[in-house]
Amino acid sequence: MGIVAGLDSSSDSTRIVVCDAETGAVLRQGYAPHPIEPAEGGGRPADVDPQAWLRSLGEAAGGGLLENVQAIGVSSQRNALVPLDRNGSLVRPALTGADRRAQTSAADLMDAFGGREAWVGAVGLVPQAAQPVTKLRWLRRTEPENADRTAFLMQAHDWLVWQLLGRPVRRTTDRGGASGTGFWSAATGSWRPDLVELALGHRTGLPEVLAPWEAAGTTPEGLLISAGTGETMAAAFGLGVGVGDAVVSLGVSGSVMAVHPEAVSDGGGAVTSLADATGMHLPVVSTSNAVRALRATAAMLDLEGPEALSELALKSTPGAHGLVLLPYLEGERTPNLPNAAGTLSGLRTESMRPEHLARAAFEGMLCSLADALDLLRGRGVEVRRVFLLGQAAELPAVRAIAPALFGAQVVVPQPADYAALGAARQAAWALGVAQGSPDPHRPPAWQGAMGQVLEPGDDLPVGQAVRRQYATVREQTHPGAFTS
């Protein structure tokens, strides 16, 4: 078929992989940081000039990296909103997913449309600070002149695709990216311009939503550009997850997502109903506390981070001698307990040892994510295999404990640029269709992620007992807060 490339423009850098279109074998790679000044305090900035993404892309692609490439796919950070005026010029810098200024606007929007259930019924999610619909409300409230000038809405990957194609009249996006905006429904496959108007005060132009195998266009040089997608969807595609697979991501906060043939949601908004990069659906459940709980426990025990905490935790036994940590240190999103604090239960003379607290931290974090998995299972989502992502997935304590608590085979993939690989696989798909693929609805059969495979085995009954212990404390402390 030829050679394709996938580029992932994340919040801080651009990564490019060049692959054989038929097998997915990586031929070349490129990397460049975004030329962006960090925010005050060292965090990620809330406002970014999108030209920084282009400069980073150009640097990453230097040295002839894209020579002989026939098609490119683009993945990018989710929730970055690029407002354009009627001439296609930037109204203001892009509002990134790291922006938390819109939290008050999220609550305002929720009330304005009739509450959580109304939002879930309309677009399969409840407004959060990071989402584009909420950023529009913030823009209207704090920068009304910019809100009035905004005539067209794009996300980061939409804007990058548009730039690569030379800013054509036609502007496009994909199902995956659209599904996280808060004004497109994964269940119906349609925009909700009325929600744009509710948030911004007026309607705007919105991109054409392409099917996963469709191309956004071809450059004058003949380079095919595929639809592009959000970073989450591209990573899932690059991993090769399918029905029966879930992905658990261990960051400061946590998330669980799984592939399902139909849109999945719940009335309370615990499940965010996203679309994936293949025509399927990608329900997501997020937690506010994951590695955050490990770091805090390590600091409490005067240890040098999660690695030392892991070593200590393995000196304890399953159940941590009765210690249970509910890791709701910054409130919690699942269950919906925004004002909660963490709880340590089961203190007895024999349990008040550092190794038991360390074990309780790992079990609490993983039980919280297992609750999220059960929430999906309770809505008909099949979970036979769990891909475990994030630096914490490398910790021996996580690998030892997770399979029995999740009740499924656990795969810890080898490190790779999975979002860029997913973008490249999408490019190969679009290229195959352009070359007359006999089955345009079937993506290229690239090998999925390789990694260490962990089975619950004989530890499954022990894991179930640990989960019952955790659930008892959770229900006693927060009655009725969580139902699967």
Q: CA-CA distance, 289 to 250, in Å (whole number)? A: 9
Could you give the 3-state DSSP secondary structure of residue 451?
A: strand
Cα-Cα end-to-end distance for the chain: 46
Task: Assess whether pLDDT exceeds 90 at residue 483.
Answer: no
CB atoms within 10 A of CB 65: 17
Residue 99 pLDDT level (bands cut at 50, 70, 90): confident
DSSP result, 30-43: EEEE---PPPTTSS
The two structure tokens encoding residue 86: 């009627």
How many alpha carbons lie under 13 Å from residue 57 in its C-beta half-sphere?
24
Cα separation, 453 vs 393, in Å, equals 12
User: Of all residues in the chain, what percent carry a pLDDT higher than 90?
Assistant: 89
Taking only the tens place, the pLDDT of each residue in 353-373 is 999 999 999 999 999 999 999
345: which strand partners? Answer: 324
Question: Count of alpha carbons within 13 Å of 425, Cβ hemisphere only?
Answer: 30
State how far the Cα of 212 lies from the Cα of 259, in Å rounded to an integer.
15
Query: Where is average pLDDT lowest: 13-22, 44-53, 340-349, 466-475?
Result: 44-53
Whether the ω angle into residue 335 lies within 30 degrees of 0, i.e. cis, is yes
Q: Per-residue pLDDT averaged across 150-169, rounded?
A: 97
Q: For residue range 265-274, what is the model confidence (pLDDT) as tens digits?
A: 888 889 999 9
Q: In the prediction, which pLDDT does 412 show? A: 97
Mean pLDDT of 250-258: 94
pLDDT value at residue 145:
98
Pair 97, 78: CB distance under 8 Å: yes
Specify the amino acid at residue 32: A
Question: How many CB atoms sit inside 10 A of residue 205's CB?
Answer: 14
Q: Residue 481 pLDDT more than 60?
A: yes
Over residues 296-319, mean pLDDT: 97
CB contact at 8 A, 185 and 122: yes
pLDDT in tens, 4-38: 999 999 989 999 999 999 999 999 999 999 998 87
Residues forming a β-bridge with 332: 337
Q: Is 461 left (phi over 0), alpha (psi -120 to 50) or beta?
A: alpha
CA distance 343 to 325: 6
* Confidence at residue 42, expressed as pLDDT on a 0 to 100 scale: 67
Q: What are the Cα distances from residue 451, in Å, to 1, 29, 117, 146, 192?
A: 27, 20, 40, 48, 41
Q: For 104-110, what is the mean pLDDT? A: 92
Alpha-carbon distance values, 148 to 3, 92, 110, 145, 151 (Å): 44, 12, 22, 5, 8
Residue 40 has pLDDT above 90, yes or no: no
DSSP 463: H
Give the C-alpha separation, 299 to 306, whole Å: 9
- Report the percent of the chain where pLDDT is more than 70: 99
Which pLDDT value is given to residue 305? 94
Specify the pLDDT at position 191.
Answer: 98
Q: Which of 49-63, 171-185, 393-407, 431-445 has the lowest mean pLDDT?
A: 431-445
Quick one: tokens of 418? Answer: 């999975």
Burial 71-81 (b: 16+ CB within 10 A, else e): bbbbbbbbbbb
Give the pLDDT mean for 226-242: 96
Closest CA to 214 of 431, 8, 1: 431
Prediction pTM value:
0.93
pLDDT at res. 403: 98
Measured in residues, the chain has a length of: 484
Q: Please name which of 201, 202, 204 lies closest in space to residue 191, comparing C-alpha atoms.
A: 204
Residues 80, 97 contacting (CB under 8 angstroms): yes
What average pLDDT does the structure give for the chain?
A: 95
Helices then strands (H, E): number in the chain?
Answer: 15, 24
Q: Is 325 helix (H, G, I), strand (E, B) or coil?
A: strand
Mean pLDDT in residue range 313-338: 96
Q: Is the pLDDT of residue 395 over 90?
A: yes
Mean pLDDT of 447-459: 93
